[in-house]
């Protein structure tokens, strides 16, 4: 489905987009006019032939899509919740209770969602997941980012279907960056075959504390320079597979004994220690062109003395990550249903503060209705400016464009997925990686 063409086709008296018009992907509006063509240059006097007319430059697809979205639709692009069911039309009491809509497709339309994240409960078989992702894409006004946590090893949401590769610690121990890249590429190829286009991997944390309860074997190791090389290779591998990669958890979750799922860790590193221990893998990921960086629900007093977690910290997300490190991609929050980010503020306020801090993608809010409503209200009341909202939506649309998702909703193939998942080549690579 050509989303941009569909949206442009709706130019007319109605300026409000109606998500129920599923035949055109659920969204649209007036396109930004292209610059007028320049008059043909005068030919040299001796040529005797007219010059070919100069063509008008094509309108930027990102700007065209952005211009066709209402405030509510723009806000919806920021959210990536968990949806319940194994098909887009699965009727679920959980969806109804949480979101006020029974099926994944209806939730996507109701909130104009920009993305969804898959968990094992969404997974039964290869053909089923393909049908699920295709069905959700059909329900979306703008093609979805379909994400999952497929780090391999301990955190592998799609492990029942995909090749079982070892986790980052085992790969890091080999010191083989080629292996890191190959495993990431193979993982990305299998995800893409299922209709998943964003992986919340690789972990860029340096496992400084061996008793860390939340990172541990998920990290490539405890040496910043070695971890940086492995992260670089993994980012490139996901890029080879045309799947978006996410470096996590910024500014570094490696030196804590508190799990941010259930508490709020405090990292006591000085700025100099952060530069030496935590920063190198994130700097390397950015240099390698990583698509997204995920924030951590950790307090880092030497980077921001406010006591707010990094996810809600403008000095960390905008000041440090955006301005100092020069990251221009998507900033994702870690899951907003985790206790580490919900200690101080309500669920609506958490979402608003995350946007104000610099986050673009709001992952798994505990209460989507509250979070979505709070962000819409904050925009309409001027607390979040239209410009700030447009910055985040633009970055998300640019990511979709870069990964081939924006102008035409991707369609996965069950036949193709059956050939790619657990292919002989990938099983051979897994055996090599296992040592």
- β-pair type (292-295, 150-152): unpaired
Supply 7's token pair: 């949206």
- Closest to 180 in 3D by CA, of 285, 334, 253: 285
Choosing from 60, 89, 176, 261, the catalytic residue is 261
Cα 157 versus chain centre, distance: 16
Element (H or E) spanning 77, and its range?
helix 71-77
| Counts of helices then strands in the chain (DSSP H, E) | 18, 10
Q: Is residue 255 a contact partner of residue 277, using CB atoms and an 8 Å limit?
A: yes
Which residues, in sequence order, are bridge partners of residue 145? 115
Q: How far apart are CA 300 and CA 305, in angstroms?
A: 7
Q: How far apart are CA 385 and CA 225, in angstroms?
A: 40
Q: Is residue 423 classed as helix, strand or coil in its secondary structure? A: coil
Q: How far apart are CA 80 and CA 76, in angstroms?
A: 9
Q: Is residue 183 a contact partner of residue 134, using CB atoms and an 8 Å limit?
A: no
Active site residue 176: no
Q: Is residue 285 a contact partner of residue 293, using CB atoms and an 8 Å limit?
A: yes
Active site residue 261: yes
Choosing from 334, 347, 360, 367, the catalytic residue is 334
Element (H or E) spanning 325, and its range?
none
Q: Is residue 205 a contact partner of residue 255, using CB atoms and an 8 Å limit?
A: no
Q: Is residue 254 classed as helix, strand or coil in its secondary structure? A: coil
Element (H or E) spanning 147, and its range?
strand 145-148
Q: How far apart are CA 31 and CA 33, in angstroms?
A: 6
Cis peptide before 202 (omega within 30 of 0): yes
Element (H or E) spanning 247, and its range?
strand 244-250
Specify the DSSP class assigned to residue 55: P
Q: How far apart are CA 142 and CA 256, in angstroms?
A: 39
Q: How far apart are CA 343 and CA 377, in angstroms?
A: 22
User: What residues act catalytically?
Assistant: 261, 334
């Amino acid at each position: 489905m050509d989303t941009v063409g569909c949206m442009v086709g709706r130019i007319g008296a109605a300026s409000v987009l109606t998500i129920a018009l599923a035949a055109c992907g659920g969204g649209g509006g007036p396109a930004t006019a292209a610059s007028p063509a320049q008059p043909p240059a005068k030919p040299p006097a001796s040529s005797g032939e007219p010059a070919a007319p100069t063509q008008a430059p094509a309108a930027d697809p990102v700007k065209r899509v952005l211009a066709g979205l209402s405030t509510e639709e723009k806000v919806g692009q920021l959210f990536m919740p968990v949806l319940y069911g194994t098909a887009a039309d699965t009727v679920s009491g959980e969806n109804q209770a949480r979101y006020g809509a029974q099926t994944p497709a209806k939730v996507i339309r109701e909130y104009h969602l920009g993305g969804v994240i898959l968990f094992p409960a969404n997974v039964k078989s290869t053909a089923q997941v393909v049908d699920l992702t295709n069905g959700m894409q059909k329900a979306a006004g703008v093609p979805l980012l379909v994400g999952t946590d497929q780090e391999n090893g301990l955190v592998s949401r799609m492990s029942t279907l995909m090749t079982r590769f070892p986790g980052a610690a085992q790969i890091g121990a080999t010191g083989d960056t080629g292996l890191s890249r190959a495993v990431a590429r193979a993982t990305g190829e299998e995800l893409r075959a299922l209709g998943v286009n964003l992986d919340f991997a690789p972990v860029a944390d340096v496992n400084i504390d061996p008793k860390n309860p939340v990172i541990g074997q998920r990290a490539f190791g405890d040496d910043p320079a070695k971890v940086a090389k492995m992260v670089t290779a993994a980012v490139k591998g996901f890029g080879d597979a045309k799947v978006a990669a996410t470096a996590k958890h910024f500014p570094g979750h490696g030196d804590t004994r508190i799990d941010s799922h259930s508490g709020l860790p405090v990292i006591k590193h000085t700025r100099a220690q952060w530069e030496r221990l935590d920063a190198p893998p994130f700097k390397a990921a950015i240099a390698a062109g990583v698509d997204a960086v995920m924030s951590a629900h950790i307090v880092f007093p030497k980077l921001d003395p406010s006591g707010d977690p990094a996810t809600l910290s403008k000095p960390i997300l905008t000041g440090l990550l955006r301005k100092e490190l020069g990251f221009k991609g998507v900033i994702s929050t870690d899951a907003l249903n985790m206790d580490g980010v919900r200690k101080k503020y309500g669920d609506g306020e958490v979402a608003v503060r995350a946007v104000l801090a610099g986050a673009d993608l709001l992952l798994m809010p505990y209460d989507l209705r509250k979070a979505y409503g709070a962000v819409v209200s904050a925009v309409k009341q001027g607390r979040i400016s239209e410009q700030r909202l447009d910055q985040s939506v633009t970055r998300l649309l640019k990511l979709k464009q870069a990964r081939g998702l924006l102008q035409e909703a991707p369609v996965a193939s069950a036949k193709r997925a059956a050939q790619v998942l657990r292919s002989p080549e990938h099983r051979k690579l897994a055996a090599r990686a296992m040592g």
